[in-house]
Amino acid sequence: MCGIVGIVSEKPFEVGELIKALKRLEYRGYDSVGFATDKGVVEKDVGEIKDFMTRVDLKQTAKVAISHTRWATHGGVTKTNAHPHTDCSGDIMIVHNGIIENFIELKNELKKEGHKIISDTDSELIAHFFEGKDIKKACVDFFKKVRGTFAVLIIKKGGEEIYALKKDSPLALGIADGMNIIGSDIYAFSDKTNKAIFFDDNEFAIIGPRSYEFFDKEGNPIEKHVQEFEWSSREEEKKKYKHFMIKEIKEQPIVAERLIRSLETEQKEKILELKNMIENAKRIIFVAAGTSYHASLLGTYFLHESGVEAHALIASEFNSFATVDDETLIIAISQSGETMDVIKSIKFARESGAKIASIVNVPYSSIQRLSDISLNILAGQEICVASTKTFTNQVILLLYLCSLLGYKTNFRELVRNMQNIFEQEEKIKELAKELKDKKDIYVIGRAMAYPVAREIALKLKEISYIHAEGMMGGELKHGTIALIEDGVPVISLIPEGDEDIISNTKEVEARGARTIIISSQPMKKTDFAIPSGNGGTFAILSNMIGQMLTYYIALEKGLPIDKPRNLAKSVTVK
């Protein structure tokens, strides 16, 4: 889940230009940062890029350089474990995104050959693997020898090119004027060019300032297509907001309106085609992870209400539980379009002949390119690790799809009501002050409110660092109610007409719970009111209250809201 950037240029460029490009990928990891140049300079440290930039000479120049921002997998967060890594001589310098699965075997072999391994990472072994070898020939050997996932950039002291290898982890080449830029995604270079070449699995390339050669894993030359793309060229700013999270929460009515217009116009043919694929499929399975999985649960519910049977599976367990054949439609949902578990699931399903549809936020991503059809949720760049506006737009797209199958939703009313939710912000702030010191929070719901309960609980865990459990109201009596005692907060999601969840709420109140009601039929002034009236509204609007509550609790606690500990935006490892 790391971010890598390399630049090779005809003219010398300042290291600050490289680090600026890397900063655009910091959402992929922020444990440590570093760079290496063709002059043999290697500088790295733990911490965020903004702090690193104050400690290094950004004016120093290079014609070839690579950089890395890390989310730790193998080895702790230390300066030694930070990238780039070098071989014993310091001539070979590498950055790596992914995991080398047979690293223990490889490490033992390299030690026997006399290599001195100084870090705890799997990545350092790559530098030693290429030490003293013809790099092009060694690339072929690397694909044969190494198991795992990787996007690797290699430079040599005094060299004039970058070697790039790709298997499963994302990698793209941006073609700019007098320079080529390699990055984990197009956002690394979208301010410089709109022309890219996307690496496919088991490919490597030798890249100069005005040239590139691509090869398959056997070393045979291959032709690659240069694709023009449209994506944000500017770096997102917080503007008047203290954090990206609250900015992105407040953007939801705008991005929702943009998506709805797109589904009515430029994406109309695609959404109709997906509708036809659903109607013609024998089996429909959503595959997703994290927040996107909660959106897929809502999609399953909306399809069920439309008379269509569907199921949702967690991507990391997909291969263990999915029954897939050539009459199956897989609908993959991913914010980044690079979620490794989802990619693995898609490849497994494709081998069985399944059709693949995807719902993503990042165009030209791996999942989009692996799909027979793909729809874009158009939420725009999301910087905060916590998905907020992307979740909302995923749900809106699924709602729109199901509206074509008979599920009734008033989308214009939905957008208006999203704006009205912000009128309860002061009440949310006061509640946040009360809840900030709580150790446990339970969130309960039924039907469409159940996935929302899980999503709110996830946000409370990852951003507010509070143990939270989102669950079906009907499961309370099967164990969890034993944990309810005086003062334990229970957030109860009560859509209009749901008498069963009202009963569950009374059950926890009888055991001393401090209930927080989010309802389309509020009974007390302290309840949070959700405008009722159309399908799917409650799920989206109640979740927005959960998002804001999470934000203000974390704000009260002084936590790093946009970059919570141990997490990264894009989960590109298994």
Nearest residue to 251 via CA among 27, 568, 544, 458: 544
Pairing of strands 227-228, 162-167: unpaired
Helix (H) / strand (E) element for 3: namely: strand 3-14
Architecture label for domain 239-407: 3-Layer(aba) Sandwich (3.40)
Nearest Cα to Cα of residue 10 among 160, 182, 194: 160
Give the span between the Cα atoms of 181 and 196, in whole angstroms.
Answer: 9
Query: To which H or E segment does residue 258 belong?
Result: helix 252-264
What does the pLDDT look like over 488-532, one tens digit per residue? 999 999 998 889 999 999 999 999 999 999 998 887 878 899 987
- The amino acid at 13: F
The per-residue pLDDT for 536 is 86
Average pLDDT over residues 369-392: 94
pLDDT band at residue 187 under the 50/70/90 scheme: confident
Could you read off the pLDDT of 38-84 as tens digits, one per residue? Answer: 999 999 999 999 999 999 999 999 999 999 999 888 788 999 999 99
C-alpha distances (whole Å) from 91 to each of 36, 110, 155, 258, 514 are: 11, 17, 8, 50, 63
Which ranges constitute the DSSP H helices of 287-410? 290-305, 318-321, 340-351, 366-369, 389-403
Please tell me the predicted confidence (pLDDT) of residue 232. Answer: 58
Would you state the pLDDT for residue 318? 96
Token pair, residue 316, equals 């990391």
Considering the candidates 44, 389, 459, 569, report the single residue annotated as catalytic: 569
Task: State the Cα–Cα distance between residues 192 and 181, nearest whole angstrom.
Answer: 9
CB 30 within 8 A of CB 53: no
User: What's the pLDDT at 72?
Assistant: 81
Backbone angles phi, psi at 266, to 5 degrees: -65, -25
CA of residue 85 relative to chain centroid, distance: 26
Residue with tokens 């690579």: 66
Do the beta carbons of residue 493 and residue 453 sit within 8 Å?
Answer: yes
Is 569 catalytic? The answer is yes
Residue 422: count other Cβ atoms within 10 Å of its Cβ. 14
CATH second-level architecture of 421-566?
3-Layer(aba) Sandwich (3.40)
Q: In which region does residue 424 sit, left (phi positive, over 0), alpha (psi from -120 to 50) or beta (all else)?
A: alpha
Query: Per the confidence metrics, is the pTM higher than 0.75?
Result: yes
For residue 47, the model assigns a pLDDT of 92
Both tokens of 147, joined, read 């198991």
pLDDT of residue 185: 87
What pLDDT sits at residue 533?
Answer: 59
Query: Is the bond preceding residue 84 a cis peptide, omega within 30 degrees?
Result: yes
Distance CA 77, CA 504 (A): 44
* Domain residue limits, the chain: 3-228, 239-407, 421-566
pLDDT of the residue at 497: 81
What value, to the nearest 5°, has the Cα angle with vertex 243 and ends 241 and 248? 80
**What is the average per-residue pLDDT within 281-305?**
97
Backbone angles phi, psi at 507, to 5 degrees: -65, -45
- With a cut of 90, say whether residue 10 has pLDDT above it: yes
How many other C-beta atoms can be found within 10 angstroms of the C-beta atom of residue 185? 27
419/203: higher pLDDT: 203
SS3 497: coil
What mean pLDDT do residues 179-203 have?
94
Q: Pick the residue with more confidence: 277 or 191? A: 277
| Backbone torsion region of residue 92, taken as left when φ is above 0, otherwise alpha when ψ lies between -120 and 50, otherwise beta | beta
> 3-228 and 421-566 share one CATH topology?
no
Beta strands in 289-406 (DSSP E): 311-314, 328-334, 355-360, 373-376
User: What's the pLDDT at 477?
Assistant: 87
Asked if the model's pLDDT at residue 314 lies above 70, the reply is yes
pLDDT band at 571 (very low <50, low <70, confident <90, very high): low
Q: Are residues 529 and 519 in contact, defined by beta-carbon separation less than 8 angstroms?
A: yes
Task: Identify whether the C-beta of residue 365 lies closer than 8 Å to the C-beta of residue 337.
Answer: yes
- The secondary structure of residue 190, as a DSSP letter, is T
- Assign a CATH topology to domain 3-228: Glutamine Phosphoribosylpyrophosphate, subunit 1, domain 1 (3.60.20)
Does residue 301 surpass a pLDDT of 90? yes
> Active site includes 459?
no
Q: What is the mean pLDDT of residues 447-464?
A: 97
- Identify the active-site residue in 2, 139, 384, 402: 2
Cα distances (angstroms) measured from residue 313 to each of 11, 323, 361: 50, 11, 20
* Mean pLDDT of the chain, nearest integer: 93
- Tell me 157's DSSP state: T
Q: Residue 238 pLDDT more than 90? A: no
Question: So what's the pLDDT on residue 574?
Answer: 57
Please say if the pLDDT value at position 234 is more than 60. no
Residue 204: the pLDDT is 98
Q: Dig out the tokens for 131 from the structure.
A: 């030490």
CB-CB contact of 502 with 494 (8 Å): yes
How many Å apart are CA 201 and CA 289, to the nearest integer? 22
pLDDT above 90 as % of the chain = 84
Predicted pLDDT at 220: 97
Q: How far apart are alpha carbons 285 and 342 in whole angstroms?
A: 12
| Per-residue pLDDT at 528 | 94
